[in-house]
Amino acid sequence: MAIISKKSKTDGVRYLVRVRDPLGKWFPSQTFNRKVDAERYERELLLKRDRGGSAASSELREMTLADYWKRWSAECRSRVGEGWRTTQNRNASKYVLPYLGNRKLREIKSSDIGLFMGAMEKYKLSPQSIMHLYNLLHKMFEDAVEYYEFVELNPVKKRFRPQIHRVEREFLSPADSWKLLEVSKDHFAGMAIWVALLSGLRPGEIQALRWSAIDFDRSQILIRATFNKKVGKIQDHPKQKDWGRAPMPKVLSDFLKDRSKGKRADDFVCPNDEGGMLSYESFVRQVLPRLCAQAGVKRVTPHELRHSCTELYVQVGASAEDLRRLLNHKSLSATIRYMHRTDERLQGIASQIVSPKNELPPEPEVPSIRHLKLVR
């Protein structure tokens, strides 16, 4: 507690009163012109504290998680993408609010979060879906502690974080990738397959790619937009928020250059059979499986074409940092999942370990002690 005197050129000396409640929170501070008024207000706060009074307003004491969600979702998601905002809204309305929405925010304990996470597992949600719920609750309560100071501690503990065992995605070997490239080159979806396998763009980036983003002079693709499936529209920035670029191998540059004649700058590079934007659903369910079968390679998804792209680059010596830049990742931790462990590559490396053709030079003769001289 404290009464702090401050001098002001206009108001003279003023007195600021600050007192903490039993939980360490500050009661509403006030400033007075007279010291006697400041001392009276201080006594009132001290009496309230001694009787167990809280600094929390009546609104905060009665605030439910549903009330807090309305405020948090409106004020604390300016940096969240539209797709993620849609997912958070769905998870909150379908799972979090029906289970915890009527509970008072300040009364929710770690045990309540544990019961909620256990209930979500009984719904047979995937580990990834449960992880989204955990992340949403953790962020909400983190802001309740750090930003709003509504609660003292975050009840969403790390021990509630679900364990996700990552399964390595399927991918094509370089030889199979070239088979698929050859089979698809005259198909309308061949453009998407060539761009995915040789430049590693994400499916949404391929759907939104226009000819104005193809830089033949510098042999690169400018990644300026992506199609967001969650909201059903093209957004003017890719997944990593800022614009990116991807290299175009000469074989891809030549392939696209032959097909760029007569195209307008705003035409789609990888259109459907009618010239409009390629549909992800028809591509993944019908077109791509059919072309994989024709090429005699295993069935892969559009995203797994991106995984297959890294195999082509690793084959010619690309490092982890090269792949990070190719895939436009923020950090190497995401890129590592695209560096696949293959027996063929390991066997190839092992085959290069051979004994030297020439015999090793004879070991130098160790002089006897009689030949050694002491150096002072």
* CATH number of the domain that residue 105 is part of: 1.10.150.130
Kindly report the three-state secondary structure assignment for every residue of 170-223: CCCCHHHHHHHHHHHCCCCCHHHHHHHHHHCCCHHHHHHCEHHHEECCCCEEEE
- Domain boundary among the residues 160, 182, 212 is at 160
| Residue 371 banded pLDDT, cuts 50, 70, 90 | very low
The DSSP code for 96 is I
The band of 2, judged by pLDDT with boundaries at 50, 70 and 90, is low
Is there a single domain that holds both residue 139 and residue 221? no
Q: How many structural domains are present in the chain?
A: 3
| Domain CATH number, residue 287 | 1.10.443.10
Residue 19 has what pLDDT? 85
Tell whether 202 and 325 lie within a shared domain: yes
Average pLDDT over residues 239-268: 91
Confidence grade of residue 370 (pLDDT, cut at 50, 70, 90):
very low
Please state which of the ranges 56-60, 250-254, 257-261, 363-367 shows the lowest mean pLDDT: 363-367
pLDDT on residue 210: 96
Global confidence as pTM: 0.65
The residue that leads in pLDDT, 306 or 230, is: 306
- What is the span of the domain harbouring residue 218? 174-341
Q: Is 353 exposed, middle or buried (0-12, 13-18, 19+ CB in 10 A)?
A: exposed
Q: Which of 160, 186, 206 is the last residue of a domain?
A: 160
Q: Which residue has the tokens 């929390």?
A: 56
Q: Which residue has the higher pLDDT, 49 or 3?
A: 49
Confidence band for 343, pLDDT divided at 50, 70 and 90? low
Structure tokens at 74: 């409106």
Looking at the fold, whether 97 and 19 belong to one and the same domain comes out as no
Decide if pLDDT at 167 tops 90. Answer: no
Distance (Å, rounded) from C-alpha 118 to C-alpha 5? 54
What pLDDT score was predicted for residue 138?
A: 96
Same-domain status, 179 and 311: yes
324-350 average pLDDT score: 77
Residues 322 and 187 in one domain: yes
Within this chain, do residues 23 and 45 fall inside the same structural domain, yes or no? yes
Greater pLDDT, 158 or 60: 158
Write the DSSP string, 279-336. Answer: PHHHIIIIIHHHHHHHHT-----HHHHHHHHHHHHHHTT--HHHHHHHHT-SSHHHHG
Kindly state whether residue 8 falls inside one of the protein's structural domains. Answer: yes
Same domain, yes or no: 153 and 266: no
Is 363 a residue whose pLDDT tops 70? no
